[in-house]
A and B are shown apart, each in its own frame.
Chain A
Amino acid sequence: MTLAVILKQVPDVVEELAIAPSGTDLDRDSVSYVVNEFDEHALEEALLLREATGEDVVVVGVDTTGELDQALYTALAKGAQRAVKLVGDFEGSWLSTRALAGLLAPVIRELSPRLVLTGVQAPDDLDGQLAPTLGALLDWPHTGVVVGTELADGVVRVRKELWGGIMLDLELATPAVLGIQAARATPRYVPVGRVRQAMRESTIEEVEVETPVESAPKLSRLRAPEAAGRAEMLTGSPSDVAERILEILRARGLY
């Protein structure tokens, strides 16, 4: 049996994001892509489950950036057994979650995993998160905001975070789909040399898929949040700024 992990590349939000002239997408030429950080946690959680149960880990992704190989080889170097890449006529486009799930569902069904793990959310999932969408399409039990998993006979036990530190324990019949918030351990690091080795020694399986029918909500425009109400900016040298901060605190009796 296998554990399927779905990885997605997303624009790095720590960098500056520019909106394309169309107004309905980011300027894809100027973004740099990273693997969705929660997907990294999903992979780590799967690798931890593998250590406990011996399951194979298969990483799966839809190549919307043309750069997915790097992410898949890194996953192989970290300890995944197989990598599957869905390719089609959608490079450079922003696929909705439902379109993505529509492409993935038949491939996942074919892989017939015990569990599907993916990130709890992604920075670009305008029409919602992948785990519940895929769960609904496959009609498999699913849940998100998962911070711990344990596989047992025919079930997976998960710890789901609510709020304020409250935890909910759930038991889902397998196969199930999980949206991982945080793995039980910090996602492992893998040296570049090991990634290069994976590139030499393993192959990524490719599956050609049809361009999905777009099902995203209508989007009239993207924009940056309004500048109104933004902070008053303190400028100058660090010591000027420190002085101003302490003045502000003194004026309010906070220091």
Chain B
Amino acid sequence: MAEHILVLAEQLEGQLTDVTLELIGVARRLAASRGSGVDALVLGDGVSSLAATVPADRTLLMEHPALRLFNPEAAQRALEAVARETSPWLVLVPNTSLGMDVAAAVATRLGWPLVAYCQAIEERDGQLVATSQLFGGKILADCPVGTDHAVLSVLAGAFSSEAAAPEPPARIERLTPPAELDALRVRATGLERPEAADVDITRAEKIVAVGRGIESKDNLELAEELAEGLGAVVAASRPLVDAGWLPRSRQVGKSGLKVKPRLYLALGISGAPEHLEGMRDAELIIAVNKDPKAPIFDVAHYGVVADLFDVAEALQERLGG
């Protein structure tokens, strides 16, 4: 059996994403314990200089015009072809907006098992176990991974991104794109970056963040007042932004912004993995939630099991509101 690990590197406009380094880091740890190596597959167009910076043992570089922007069909075909060709033990794919299009499709086509939402991949009693985070972060599923092929899709932020450059330096191998890339049914037509916002939550020192527990748009006023009293800005979980109660620029999390304030006061936020991705590194996290099992308490430094309105009002009184 092959023992090497194939990592799908993720890049956007020539920039490698942090999660790619996290995946290569964990892959190198796993491969080293088996005396094997790590292949990183870099997909793009005109990205050969980027390929040279990837800290894998071997960088497989595939360039094609269809790979310039992310194209889910092209990426899927490319990864599938490379996996068939190199027959790795494990394929690691980031569980990002891009990776989600690829991991399940490639695993299905190859007939290999997939463990999604991996937050840990560890040896336990001589057995490799991938731990998947399910049910909004409330339940973990331990899945033993044998010596057969498997695909793991890995949560961003679950591993350290300090993968050191390998010794000896990586070899770069240029791959010929599969013929399917010339007959795709999906076209990427554009990429749009957000406009500058009125408030940049990524620079705020203090954040009062509200979730679905706030119940209505009118109740946002309470959060605004509290934030004013604390000298903080208001941010939110995704459902509030989807409902149009706050602009997209206030969304914290996987598809929103990553924040690292000195204070993150979370009111009525459950702490789904996609939310935690954006705020778990805050210096001080204080969470108020009615549900004692809410996953937000797994990352908070201080927790309060209470009605957020009671706590917010009591705080507001003391702040002289």
Footprint of B on A, CB under 8 Å? 11, 13-14, 16-17, 19, 26, 97-98, 101, 120-121, 123-129, 132-133, 135-137, 141-145, 157, 160-173, 176, 179, 181-182, 186, 215-225, 229-235, 237-239, 241-246, 248-249, 252, 254-255
Contact = CB atoms under 8 A, between A and B. Distances in A.
B2 interface: no
Contacts of A166: 12, 191-194
A237 B231 CA distance: 25
Contacts of A98: 108, 114
A224 B138 contact: yes
B317 interface: yes
A197 to B, nearest CB: 27
Given A162-B255, A234-B303, A128 B143 contact: no
B281 interface: no
Contacts of A126: 115-117, 132, 134, 141, 143
- Secondary structure at the B interface, as helix, strand, loop or mixed, is mixed
Nearest to A232: B302
A231 B244 CA distance: 31
Interface stretch (B21-29, B57-65, B92-100, B171-179): B92-100
A169 to B, nearest CB: 4
B279 to A, nearest CB: 14
A249 B295 contact: no
B97 A14 contact: no
Interface of B: 12, 69-73, 76, 96-98, 100-109, 113-117, 129-130, 132, 134-146, 150, 153, 185-194, 206, 230-231, 238, 242-244, 248-249, 251, 254-258, 262-263, 265, 270, 284-287, 291, 293, 295, 297-298, 300-307, 310-311, 313-315, 317-318
Contacts of A97: 104
B151 to A, nearest CB: 8
A215 B107 CA distance: 11
A181 B251 CA distance: 15
A14 B191 CA distance: 35
8 contacts: A98-B114, A128-B107, A133-B104, A217-B145, A223-B140, A225-B137, A231-B300, A254-B230
A127 B190 contact: no
Contacts of A216: 113
B254 A163 contact: yes
Contacts of A176: 185
Contacts of A223: 139-140, 142
A221 B142 contact: yes
A222 B140 CA distance: 6
Nearest to B263: A254
A132 B256 contact: no
A234 B302 contact: yes
B134 A124 contact: yes
Contacts of A248: 284, 286, 302
Kindly list the 3 A-B residue pairs having the minimum CB-CB distance in the complex, ordered from nearest. Answer: A128-B104, A231-B303, A165-B194
A222 B132 CA distance: 9
A14 B291 contact: yes
B134 A132 contact: no
A169 B97 contact: no
B108 A101 contact: yes
B225 to A, nearest CB: 14
B142 A241 contact: no
**Most interface-central of B102, B251, B286 (chain A CB within 10 A):** B286
B114 A217 contact: yes
A11 B191 CA distance: 36
A242 B255 CA distance: 32
A144 B116 CA distance: 15
Contacts of B301: 231-232
**Most interface-central of A127, A224, A229 (chain B CB within 10 A):** A127
B255 A252 contact: no
B72 A143 contact: yes
A170 to B, nearest CB: 6
A141 to B, nearest CB: 4
A220 B115 contact: no
Contact of B141 (A144, A161, A222, A232): A222
Contacts of B116: 125-129
B23 to A, nearest CB: 16
B92 to A, nearest CB: 14
Nearest to A172: B186
B97 A245 contact: no
B186 A144 contact: no
A232 to B, nearest CB: 5
A246 B301 CA distance: 14
Nearest to A127: B114
**Most interface-central of A128, A135, A224, A225 (chain B CB within 10 A):** A128
Nearest to A16: B293
Nearest to B70: A168
Contact of A129 (B104, B254, B302): B104
Contacts of A142: 72, 101, 105
A219 B254 contact: no
A171 B186 contact: yes
